[in-house]
Structure 1
Amino acid sequence: MNEQSKDGRIRKNIKQGMLVEIVQKQDQRTGELTEGGVARILTKSASHPHGIKVMLESGEVGRVKHILED
């Protein structure tokens, strides 16, 4: 996977089931990351400067900071 396809700010790079790290709203100040599989993609636009918003399989919602694997 090249560097461009690991960019969590671009919607087409993110698919259901992918392992990602997100930052939840309450963790934005600390930058604490939460790891999990993508259950749903919540952002409708093609890109977002702070990361695409997703819901993890655990139900947690946040913006993608890192794509770990397919």
Structure 2
Amino acid sequence: MPPAYLATAEFDPLRDEGIGYGLSLLRSGVPVELHQWPGTFHGSQAILSAEVSQRQLAELAAALRRALAE
């Protein structure tokens, strides 16, 4: 499987499942970049004025750039 980028939000009802999925991929030998964003909720990155949202979007863009450079 290709490398994976996973991001979970602290107050997302599916947070634990997302983290578990990332850990399962890691145990299977898949390279995984797993980010847990404290203080966030599902979809919170849509609030573009929030500093944490800006960091989330920058981190995602950086991960995409790294993946496309390979």
Give the TM-score of the pair, scaled to structure 1. 0.22
Q: Which has the higher contact order (CA 8 A, sep 6+)?
A: 1
Determine which structure has the larger strand proportion and give its number.
1
Larger Rg, first or second structure (1 or 2): 2
Determine which structure has the larger helix proportion and give its number.
2
